[in-house]
Copies of this chain bind each other. A is one copy, B any other.
Amino acid sequence: MTTYAPAEASERTGLSLDTLRYYERLGLFGPVRRTTTGHRVYSDHDVAWVGLLVCLRNAGLGISDLQQFMGRMRDRSSGPTGLVELLEEHRSRLRDEVAKMNLALGVLDDKIAYYSAQDGQSKK
């Protein structure tokens, strides 16, 4: 199993070392293995998991959402935890957001069309 030094994990996830430690402190992933001298050693699994976190965070989920998500994952062995329901809830929120953004895109398109015509072509 491939492992990564902090710097490389940072590069692969696109998060800063600080943020990686921050997420770990908050329990969003890990625990991360350490060398005898206390340096972190990230596994493939860690990196992949952080990738998921980044993706969901990009999508607008907050830290507390991610924490809940983690919690459900951890307790999944002891029966249903409503994980699926939680995910579905986030999904529908996400769809709303996308709808809002598409609306904004439409508005931008209109404005662009409008001001392009009015300004004449201000292409350089």
- A contacts, CB < 8 Å to B: 52, 55-56, 58-60, 76, 80, 82-85, 87-88, 90-91, 94-95, 97-98, 100-105, 107-109, 111-112, 115-116, 119-120, 122
Contacts and interface: CB of A to CB of B under 8 A. Distances in A.
25 contacts: A55-B104, A56-B104, A56-B107, A58-B100, A58-B101, A59-B100, A59-B103, A59-B105, A76-B119, A80-B122, A82-B122, A84-B115, A84-B116, A84-B119, A84-B122, A85-B122, A87-B111, A88-B112, A90-B108, A91-B108, A91-B112, A94-B101, A97-B101, A98-B98, A101-B101
A interface secondary structure, majority: helix
Given A82-B122, A119-B83, A94 B104 contact: yes
| Copies in the assembly, this chain | 2
Q: Which 9 interchain pairs have the tightest Cβ spacing?
A: A59-B104, A80-B122, A91-B108, A58-B100, A87-B112, A59-B101, A55-B104, A98-B101, A84-B115
Given A87-B111, A94-B108, A119 B58 contact: no
